[in-house]
Structure 1
Amino acid sequence: MQQTKYLLAAYNIGITLLCGFLILTGFNHPNDGDEITVKRINIVNEDGTPAIILANQERVPDPVLDGQSYKRAIKAGGIVTNRLQLGTNNGTTALVINGTDGKPRVKLAVSDRNEVSFSVLDENGNTIKQILE
């Protein structure tokens, strides 16, 4: 009986120390709720396909058109969705809206010199109408 009391006391002390350690170390990660630092965030559909991707330049995915992936000519970080792309490259920020076929159709851009351009694109991504330059 005496041995059982010592065993229960040791167990109780051990559990208390373990809980105290877990509580104290859990509060060592400063986070005031104002900022999250990650290299990429994937938001996926129910079937696991990407719906929205927020990524830096190194982790931005290559575009996919009709199920085929194409190599990017220029890596630019930003937001990528099936129909909308927002990104920055070499000081120019651009918003590209894709058609239902996944190909770029409209592009709004602001350069590092504050020059605004608005372009309507054909099915190959070529400018067919430049509204602002």
Structure 2
Amino acid sequence: MSWLSSPRFLTVYSGALTLVFAWTVLTGFSRDNAIIPEVRVQRINIVEPDGTLRMVISNKARAPGIYMHGKEYLKGQRQTAGVIFLNDEGSENGGLTFGGAKSADGTITNHGHLSFDRYMQDQVLALTTTQRNDDLSATLSVLDRPGYPITELLELLERIKNWPPEQQQAELERFNATHPQPQRRIALARETDRAVSLQMRDTEGRARIVMRVDANGEPKLQFLDAGGNVIGQLPQ
């Protein structure tokens, strides 16, 4: 038997190759200015030195759930690629998501969303675009969010996620009856009918001032009461 094919030589040889590979990886990637021309990954987790998660970049299949204080809620329910931002405590505080495709029947859908959240709550500033065939909209929104921690809602959703839909809906209605709801206060939009508008709303989410330019170019400024009735308009 040749010494080149002996078990002892093969063991030493494989061990030497492993050491060379490990040394190459460790020395190559430890350089501060190392350049990697291209990386193909499905998800990247950006963490602090202590391991606190600060950012997730992922495809649709490996999209994260919602992180609060390092705990992941509703894993697998976020169905979009994008970037999720987390604060110093490992809690989500914004994100960028996007997607789009043409279906087998020719329907075109497209969407993009950039948002920033209130502490331990959901988005208070959002830029959203949507498309379905020729229906396009783009909206910049400013929202009021309630003060209760969103973990109360997330824990409820985790608990009822396997319930029948009608029972889930009933439980959510009970929750909403005892918790303040978010309200959109400002919306600057390009609407699906090709009009553009600026709406300013009161703390109950009711439109009170609406500036609008219709698709035919006609401008309008309206003042509304709490019931939605026009109490003043320009031009008259």
Same fold (TM over 0.5): yes
Backbone CA RMSD of aligned residues: 3.3
Equivalent pairs, count:
104
- What is aligned with 1:11? 22
**In 1, Cα distance between the equivalents of 2:199 and 2:18?**
68
Q: What is the deviation of 1:40?
A: 1.1
Counterpart residue type for residue 40 of structure 1: H
Pair 9,76 (structure 1): closer, same or farther in 2 beyond 3 Å: closer
Give the alignment's TM-score, normalised by structure 1: 0.61
- Select which of 71, 95, 114 maps to 1:41: 114
Aligned partner of 1:80 in structure 2 is: 141
1:102 aligned onto 2:205: yes
Task: Name segments (4+ residues, structure 1) moved above 6 Å.
Answer: none
Cα distance per residue 1:75-105 (max 9 Å; x no partner): 9531122220111221110000011222110
- Over 3 Å counting, the alpha-carbon distance change for 1:6 and 1:101 in structure 2 is closer
The gaps in structure 1 that reach 5 residues or longer are 27-35, 59-74
Partner of 1:120: 223
Specify the SS of the correspondent of 2:209. strand
User: How far did residue 115 of structure 1 move?
Assistant: 1.3
Distance 1:7 1:101, change over 3 A: closer
| 1:23 match: secondary structure | coil
TM-score by length of 2: 0.37
Deviations 1:51-81 (A, max 9, x none): 01211236xxxxxxxxxxxxxxxx9531122
- Partner SS for 1:25: coil
Q: Report the Cα distance in structure 2 between the residues aligned to 1:79 and 1:49, rounded to whole angstroms.
A: 16
Q: Residues 12 and 132 from structure 1, CA distance in 2 versus in 1: closer, same or farther, beyond 3 angstroms?
A: same
**Which SS does the other structure have where 1:56 is aligned?**
strand
Q: Kindly, what percent of the aligned residue pairs are identical? A: 18
CA distance in 2, matches of 1:47, 1:55: 21
Partners of 2:213 and 2:17 in 1: CA distance: 74
Corresponding residue number in structure 2 for 1:23 = 36
Alpha-carbon shift at residue 118 of structure 1 (Å): 0.2
* Aligned-partner Cα distance in 1 for 2:17–2:222: 80
Equivalent residue letter for 2:37: L
Answer with 123-132 or 110-119: which moved more.
123-132
Taking CA–CA contacts closer than 8 Å with sequence separation of 6 or more, which of the two structures ends up with the larger relative contact order? 1
Matched position secondary structure for 2:22 = helix
